[in-house]
A and B are shown apart, each in its own frame.
Chain A
Amino acid sequence: MKYSFIAPRKKRLISGELRLVLFFFAVTIAMLVGTYVFLEYKTYDFVNERKNVALKEKSIKRSVEAMQEQIKTIEKEAKIVEQVTTSNAVMKESIRNLFDLVPEDITLSRAELEEKSLILYGTTPNKDTYEYMLHAPLRSIFNRSYTSFYPIENGWYRFVSSNYLDDETVEEIK
């Protein structure tokens, strides 16, 4: 209920001097709070940045590890390539030597060259030609040599020459 004919005057709870003091306090507090907030933000930012850097470091480490793995693989592959090239060169040399071994009278129809064996299929005008011209050099190379002859219609012989090296010899060659 309202009893009074007039409204009361507005009460100023804070005087001019006090207001000024409060203003300065407020400004100081605002500045402190601002500084605190700024530093907090910077700390947060720094922590974030550190986290990112750590993550980056981890990822770089991982990629370095992967690259090292790749390098290892490549090195292995390079070794293999070298081995293959060497073995190919050896093979090529062996094949060339083989063909050098074969005299003109003997015709080879098939040759199976493996690490420890050489199996030759061909035709020879006679067994002697084979014996002196081909078998002798083969025997000097391989440890064991077996030949089978099959006469054919024109009087020649089809032969299958199986030549084997022993493990020790292979080790020595290597």
Chain B
Amino acid sequence: MIERFYRKIFVAIVQDGGAHDVRVVVQKQKKLLNKESRKFEGKSALDEIRSYLSKYIDESPLHYVAVLNPAVKQGALTGCRNHLEEEIEEISGAKTLCQNEDWLLYSSMRELESLQTEYKKIGLDFIFSPFSVLEHFFKDKVHGGFALYALAQKDSFSVAFFEDGKLEYAHHYPMQEKNTLTLEDESSTMGFAVGIKEEDDIDKGISLDDIESLDDLDILEELDDLSEIEDLDNLDEIVEFSEDEPTFEEKRIVFPRGSEIKQEMDMFNNDYRRFELIQRTLARFYRGEHCHDRFVETIYIADAYGSGAELKQYLEEELFLNVSIRHIDVADEVIALAMAEEEEL
């Protein structure tokens, strides 16, 4: 009853790309009073966030701070119990959350504790999985037929297969590592998936002929590290990548500033990287026990990063998928989840 007199303040903190995107929503009796966003970067970001939030936190005791789980070791599994041996091994030492008695979210207990310690001064009320965000964002789609859904952030890439609202398979790829890692390295160090054994040859089992040619391009690995500008001089190798694409030299003529070129290349690299991860996930899914002879025809991408047209092009041309890219404001989604969670209290 007393709650009616207080404002409800929902704070979403989304850690992505080395920055903290903070969104504050002030409500009173479900009526939006104020909405504010601010970005914090650097080592003292958390202290700055704390002093920024203090005016809101002091204003009302009904404040809820929610974060999107940045943990490396997290994921989602189909079914709440009776998991495979590998799955049980992975979720040991992890906190689990059963969703609709159908599928399971999990996150490393250690990482959750460390996150809570990191935000001790601010205080945390909710930690949401990227898969919850994905499901909430595509709630109009996930209850439909079998499709692949992806949440693309700067620091992570979460991929999930849903059919009739039930998660069939999921994989969370943290991307904090430098892009210079080779594909072989990634298979062992990046990503966190269970239930399907990794194989060195990622193309094995994919029926699409064109994919192999893309994976064989060693030059792409070299292109990943754009900090080494001298690699750009090696124009012969880049030309081999795609005949349609303008050469770096051409680009340099069009965009004489180095930062713009770097930005362009970053976008390109990220798109290609995400394409690879989708390709890898599909390969794993088709090889795994959860496939049941199903074939993915549609992919929905929640884009929090600004994935370019290249990703769509790759997916359509190389994997023959129907691609739908929707821009997502992750902070808004986290706020929405926090509100839903608060209503349950």
Residues of A whose CB lies within 8 Å of any CB of B are 1-6, 8-9, 11-15
Contact = CB atoms under 8 A, between A and B. Distances in A.
Interface stretch (B175-183, B199-207, B277-285, B336-344): B336-344
B125 A12 contact: no
B123 A9 contact: yes
B116 A6 contact: yes
A5 B2 contact: no
A9 B125 contact: yes
A3 B64 contact: no
B125 A3 contact: no
Given A3-B129, A5-B69, A15 B61 contact: yes
B314 interface: no
Contacts of B97: 2-5
A4 B12 CA distance: 13
Most buried by B among A11, A12, A15: A11
A10 B107 CA distance: 23
A5 B107 CA distance: 8
B344 A2 contact: yes
A25 to B, nearest CB: 14
Contacts of A9: 123-125
A138 to B, nearest CB: 116
19 contacts: A2-B344, A3-B126, A3-B129, A3-B132, A3-B136, A3-B337, A3-B341, A4-B66, A4-B125, A4-B128, A5-B105, A5-B129, A6-B124, A6-B125, A6-B127, A8-B126, A8-B342, A14-B2, A15-B61
A5 B95 contact: yes
Interface in B45-102: 61-64, 66, 69, 95, 97, 99-100
